[in-house]
Amino acid sequence: MKYLGATKRVFGIEIYRDRKRSKFCLSQAEYLKKVLIKYGMDQARSASVPHATHFKLSLEQSQKNPPNLSSKNLGFLSATDHGSNPRLEAEQLIDIPVTPTSEVRNSNNINGILSPNPTTAVIIASWYLSNIGVLLLNKYLLSIYGYRYPIFLTLLHMLSCALYSILAIHWLELVPYQPIVSRRQFFKIVALSAIFCFSVVCRNTSLRYLPVSFNPMIGATTPFFTTIFAFIITCKKESCEVYLALVPMVLGIVLASNNEPLFHLFGFLVCVGSTAGSALKSVVQVILLTSEGERLHSMNLLMYMAPMAAVILLPFSVCKTSRNIVHDISFDI
């Protein structure tokens, strides 16, 4: 008899083992996908149920005195409702608590930490401000200050992302840590890192030739490229309303580019490549990390992608920087 390794699937149920964390998980994600495809619901939009994504459960919300869960106390509610089993009518039934509404959850957070709505607003505002700050700083370094190494600047960007994500996961514990479970998952993350490198390098390079206000305007076409790549790669079709909403967006970018006094063709093409790379990364990420055992939180994914992207950029950065240094030395001589 030949040993085929650890069991990964039994009767359509996927088996995942994490021996380091002493966890054993069973998943029927593939079976559910087949059911959705069979009934024509594979293109339906997903939603998180029954709670909102910001709603978190804790031990403080559990019952302090749980009911007696003996076998005689467990009855079928439908049987007692129809009177088919009168003996169960006198038995004690377990009351399932009703899911609290958003008003109740917000009222419970008045005396505690900020409610989810203000917290979400603060996070979004911080994200916008940080993006604007990074964009302005890169524009100053590459265009005004005269820094000529966009690849090395991207390398520093990746190292900073890796450092901050490690601090957020391991020190601040904002999200739970998720390890890489297989070699296949590792190579998928490497592929995403290469696309990530291409997108960020193109964006930083475009700042040398385009105004800082023109760069995010082209980035607004990300939904257009996302729908195009989703249709080409996954054959996923959106509704007519979605495609019609993209038309004025693209036309606006074309008109703005035509009337831009500081328009630069190479910078424009590189910026479009950056936007397309960002959209391609989003589509490929959904394709590569579809399995329940390989799906990662965005913070964990960034923690793995950023160092890999830095390793990919290192030889290009050394080559480009050394060539510029040699050129400067020969020019001075």
CA-wise closest residue to 133 among 117, 157, 158: 157
pLDDT at 163: 93
Q: Each residue of 19-49: pLDDT tens digit?
A: 777 777 888 878 888 888 888 777 776 655 5
pLDDT at 143: 78
For residues 290 and 252, which has the higher predicted lDDT (pLDDT)? 252
* The token pair that represents 163 in the structure block: 């450092």
pLDDT at 167: 92
Q: Crossing angle, helix 183-206 and helix 150-166, to 10 degrees?
A: 130
Q: Tell me the pairing of strands 23-27 and 9-10.
A: unpaired
Q: Report CA 102 to chain centroid distance, whole Å.
A: 25
pLDDT at 308: 92
pLDDT at 91: 44
Q: Each residue of 288-333: pLDDT tens digit?
A: 766 666 778 888 888 999 899 999 988 888 887 777 666 666 655 5
Residues sharing a CB contact under 8 Å with residue 175, sequence separation 6 or more, in sequence order: 168, 169, 297, 299, 300
Q: Each residue of 45-94: pLDDT tens digit?
A: 665 555 555 556 666 666 666 555 444 444 444 444 444 444 444 444 44
Percent with pLDDT over 70 in the chain: 72
Residues sharing a CB contact under 8 Å with residue 131, sequence separation 6 or more, in sequence order: none
pLDDT at 88: 42
Q: Each residue of 161-219: pLDDT tens digit?
A: 899 999 989 888 888 888 888 888 888 889 888 998 888 888 888 888 888 778 778 88
Average pLDDT score over residue span 123-130: 84
50 prior amide bond cis, ω within 30: yes
